[in-house]
Amino acid sequence: MKKLLQTLTEAFGPSGYEDEVREIVRSEVESLADEIRVDALGNLIARKRPGKTSKNSKKVMIAAHLDEIGMMVSHVDGNGFVRFAPLGSVPRAYIPGSRVRFSNGTPGVIAASFAERSQDINELPALDKFYIDVGATSRDDCPVEVGEIAVFDCPYHDLGDRLVAKSVDNRVGVLIGIETLRDLKSTSHDVTFVFTTQQQVGMRGAMTSAYGVDPDVGIALDVTPAGDTPHSHGMEISLGKGPCIRIQDAGMIADTRVVNWMVRAAQKNRIPYQREVSLLGTSDASAIQFARAGVPSGCISVPVRYIHSSSEMVDLSDVRNAVKLLTVILRTQIEL
């Protein structure tokens, strides 16, 4: 599981450019699914048909987004410095000094310009004051051009149970989807795993794929900010205490029946879990619930420190327990 997470996080895959990640996932799941296809927006859709069905069998969609945050070149000035537009939410606090890699292999470092000589260097300027230095001396010798894409470039670190990498958001959700499909030998539900595109810029892949899959119930796999660091934002979420069953976030109120389905499965199987109410961000579930006439939806999330930085941290036990939780959920009947 560690090796696969390293492979997934080291892959290049910002919003709209998920091809490399999708091919890694395809190689893992094509022998595990009964049907596999890629739709018009690049979502990888892997279906597991039900075994013995019952009157409570449902069509379930599991969504985990492939993409990571990134930067797109918007302007190269006369001295070869690269200005960029964010792809997704790029927090100013995490980016000064961060190294990046462009799709053509060019490395660079993010820095900021200060408009006023008197401005305190310890105060973060607006995002439009940041630039990427690729070592160029002019626009003519700059190795990237307008429209080129970059992502954070940071090595994967194995700290034992704690793992650090870029794009843990949401390659860890992708990993959970893959491992659940691997463990799910049989189910009475018709389960479709969708590895979605363009979540960081508005859940676009989940929106279109949910319309096509037309599920009875939807579950997103994603990450959530851990609240266990000094002076944190106060969320009761910690690394190592289990996956989170999301009740509400900034874009979704989870269906109570789906939440209870998850909680009962966790309690019955003695799987540690955390109840989550988040005011920060949302997941693919917020798009799934609006598909067609509406879909009861929920989210299983994994606590991660330093989300949207180049060094996101996750606890492997939370990942393993998320796989266990999703697997037993998909073997359990749900009444809607």
pLDDT in tens, 213-259: 999 999 999 999 999 988 776 678 999 999 999 999 999 999 999 99
CATH class, 70-152 region: mainly beta
d(CA 5, CA 297): 26
List b or e across 104-137, with b for residues whose CB sees 16 or more CB atoms inside 10 angstroms. eebebebebeeeeeeeeeeeebeeeebbbebebe
pLDDT in tens, 104-120: 999 999 999 865 555 66
Question: Residue 110: which of 88, 123, 122, 92 has the closest Cα?
Answer: 92
Q: What is the CA radius of gyration of the chain?
A: 20
pLDDT number for residue 180:
98
Cα maximum dimension of the chain: 72
- Give percent of the chain with pLDDT exceeding 90: 87
**What six digits make up the tokens of 300?**
């299983």
CATH class, 2-68+166-329 region: alpha beta
Report the predicted TM-score, pTM, of the whole model to 2 decimal places. 0.95
Domain limits, the chain = 2-68+166-329, 70-152
